[in-house]
Amino acid sequence: MTIEEILEDYEDLERDDIFAVLAYATKLTQVKSIHKVIV
C-alpha cells in the first residue's frame, strides 16, 4: 500500500502523520525488550 493510497482511505491523515508512524515503528524495532506496564 502506498502513502497516497493510505491518504485516500484516511482523509484526516496527512503525509507527516505517516512519516511519524514509520519513525516510531523504526524506533520500536531497535528496542531490545519491551516491558508491560499496568496502569
Say how far apart CA 37 and CA 10 lie, in whole Å.
31
For the whole model, what pTM was predicted? Answer: 0.67
User: Each residue of 3-24: pLDDT tens digit?
Assistant: 999 999 999 999 999 999 999 9
Amino acid occupying residue 7 = L
> For residues 7 and 13, is the Cβ–Cβ distance under 8 A?
yes
Say how far apart CA 5 and CA 32 lie, in whole Å.
32
- Does residue 32 register a pLDDT over 90? no
